[in-house]
Amino acid sequence: MRVRTYCVWGLMLLFGIFCGPLFAQTTAGRADVISIEGGIGPAMADYVAASIVQANQNEGVKLIIVRLNTPGGLMISMRKIIQSILASPIPVVGYVAPSGARAASAGTFILYATAAAAMAPGTHLGAAAPVSLLPNNDQDASKMSAMQKKTLNDAKASIRTLAEMHQRNSTWAERAVTQAATLTAKEALQKNVINRIAQDLPHLLQVLNGQKIHWRSQVRVLSTAGLQLHYLQPNWHSRFLMVVTNPSVTYLLLMVGLFCLAVEFFHPGLIVPGVVGSICILIALYALQMLPVSYIGLALLLLGVAFIVAEVFVTSYGVLGIGGVIALFIGSIMLIPTQDPGFGISPALVYGVPTLFGLLFLGLIYIVIKDRRRPPISNMESLIGQAGTVVILNQRLWLKCRGDLLQIDQPSGIAEGDQVRINKMVGARVQVESVSNKE
């Protein structure tokens, strides 16, 4: 009996030694980390909103950390992220990291929306002014339209509200919007723009422990000691959307799709260009409906490609081709008119793609001119008796003879690849007979 008691106590001791730390970690809970990297667009907003909802559905999550490294992005996407943060029952902390990162433009708004803000050494924030609305100088401020003033005042009110909600510097927040002011991590701490400076995420949990915050009309004290970091990664759908809604990628998909369809139009039956082009255009259109698109710019792109294609069939002496290249260039500039940082089409693509189409057009002109300089066939009757090979073009049988393509009249009994000989001319067509039959 005594031996059995000792065994039970021994098992309980071993269980406590090996499983005790596991229970301690489970009891302490965890902090979910959401990373905002690069431009803030619709896909990024969906990922952040879904991650915050996911974190709130887990009872073990005690804190949500939004790690920022962004040049900014679309205003509508920024507002969706801010609404998700403010609606979260679990406190959300903003952290600009790693060293060298920034929370510019829309990133500054998001950082102000969090319950507590921190930055890593060597980071900065600010420049939250709407680029398209800022006057060049004080004298030009009176030249702003009523809509521009309305938008600017709305941005000022938004960031001031966020600052007052969490008792952080609202005066500098307005300067970030109206004057594009910026701050380093040390300056931001001195001016009460952020609450802490932390080297990394584990250090952030240490310095935030005991921090008083104002969250959902309540004063709370953060208890971050012992929290385990858990990183929420975007799923495959969010990753796919982040790639295709990148304006440069969307633009490339659209142009590749149009080019492939043009190739299929020139050479019916190739199939592969048609399939690839259709898929690229559909993906691009899906991405465009999520982006701020100028439909005039999109129409110019389509018109430009149509002009270049029409140049092959219409004798315009290059007018259609040149007009097509110009339309492509202007349409590329106008397609996504946003000036939000980090969310525009790359200038290299804006200039490069129309240039490429221009070079293709010049190559086409060269081929046409070279073909027109070839001496014409003056005596069609001289072709009688000449041999050639049967080829298929546009689903019809043609004869390739002396470098020319001649349409075959009554092509029954022959197939592609047959060696035939011309025995009669019927207008511009030829009647042929098999070489083997003749022999």
> Domain residues of the chain, as ranges?
23-235, 245-372, 380-438
Question: How high is the pLDDT of residue 198?
Answer: 94
pLDDT at 117 over 80: yes
Listed residue (346, 348, 327, 345) closest to 336, CA to CA: 345
Pairwise CA distance, residues 399 & 223, whole Å: 85
138-176 per-position pLDDT tens digit: 445 555 667 777 878 888 899 999 999 999 999 999 999
Give the pair of three-digit tokens for residue 309: 């294609």
The helices-and-strands tally (H runs, E runs) of the chain is 15, 16
pLDDT at 37 over 80: yes
Cβ neighbours of residue 249 closer than 8 Å, sequence gap 6 or more:
243, 287
Percent of the chain, pLDDT > 70? 81
- Topology (CATH level 3) of domain 23-235: 2-enoyl-CoA Hydratase; Chain A, domain 1 (3.90.226)
pLDDT at 27 over 60: no
**CA-based torsion, 152, 155, 156, 157: positive or negative:** positive
Q: Which CATH class is domain 380-438?
A: mainly beta
**What is the average pLDDT score of the chain?**
81
Pairwise CA distance, residues 252 & 247, whole Å: 9
Pairwise CA distance, residues 338 & 35, whole Å: 24
Q: Beta strands 61-69 and 92-96: pairing type?
A: parallel
φ and ψ at 260, to 5 degrees?
-65, -40
Question: How high is the pLDDT of residue 195?
Answer: 93
- Residue 196, phi-psi category: left (phi > 0), alpha (psi -120 to 50), beta (remainder): beta
pTM for the predicted model, two decimal places: 0.70
Pairwise CA distance, residues 259 & 373, whole Å: 28
Give the pair of three-digit tokens for residue 108: 């500054």
* Inter-CA distances, 411 with 269, 395, 397, 406, Å: 20, 12, 7, 12
* Inter-CA distances, 55 with 91, 189, 200, Å: 11, 28, 21
How does residue 127 score in pLDDT terms, banded at 50, 70 and 90? confident
E strands along 202-345, which residues? 212-215, 218-221, 228-231
Listed residue (250, 255, 252) closest to 357, CA to CA: 255
Whether the link from the prior residue into 71 is cis, omega within 30° of 0, is no
How does residue 188 score in pLDDT terms, banded at 50, 70 and 90? very high
From 278-292, 318-332, 392-406, the region with the lowest mean pLDDT = 392-406
Question: How high is the pLDDT of residue 373?
Answer: 59
How does residue 25 score in pLDDT terms, banded at 50, 70 and 90? very low
Listed residue (9, 127, 19, 150) closest to 71, CA to CA: 127
58-99 per-position pLDDT tens digit: 889 999 999 999 988 888 889 999 999 999 999 999 999 999
Helix (H) or strand (E) holding 126: strand 124-126
